[in-house]
Amino acid sequence: MIDPKELRIGNYVNNTQFGHHVKKTVYAKVLGYVPAWGIYVGFNDPFVGVWTQTHMDNHLEPIPLTQEVLEKCGFRYGEITPCQSSKTLDALVKFSFWIEPRDNDFIYHWIGGNITITTLHQLQNLYFAITGDELNIKL
C-alpha cells in the first residue's frame, strides 16, 4: 500500500484489486483525495472495458521503475558526460534530465548528491519538482 502523502494528482499506481483477478497490471491514475473515502482513482476497468472512477486505498501499489516504464515515459538510452565527471555514462535520457541505471535501481544525480528512484510515482514527483512539467507517460 502507498502512503497517500506520497501521491499527487496525476500519479500512476497499480490497481491490485482488479489486476489480481485478470492477472495483469491495471494502471490507475490518481484523480484526487477525499478524506472520508481516501484516494480517488480512474482506470480502464478490465471487466467492462471502460474508464471507471472509484475510491480505494488498500488496493493501490507502486509501479516499479524499469527500463520499459522509463521508455514509456520518453526516456531513451544515450551516452552522457556529466560535468563533474570525465567518464561517459550509459544513461536513460529525456532532454537534460537523465537517470543512471545502477544495480536494480535508478539514480538521479544532482549537485547535492544522488537520489535513488524505485517507483514510477517517485519519478513523476521528482520530474515535476525539477522541471515544473508533468512527465508524459504512455502506459
What does the pLDDT average to over 32-56?
78
CA distance 44 to 28: 8
pTM equals 0.76
CA distance 103 to 116: 11
- Output the nine-digit C-alpha cell for 11: 500519479
pLDDT of residue 96: 62
Q: Give pLDDT tens digits for 123-138.
A: 899 889 888 889 889 8
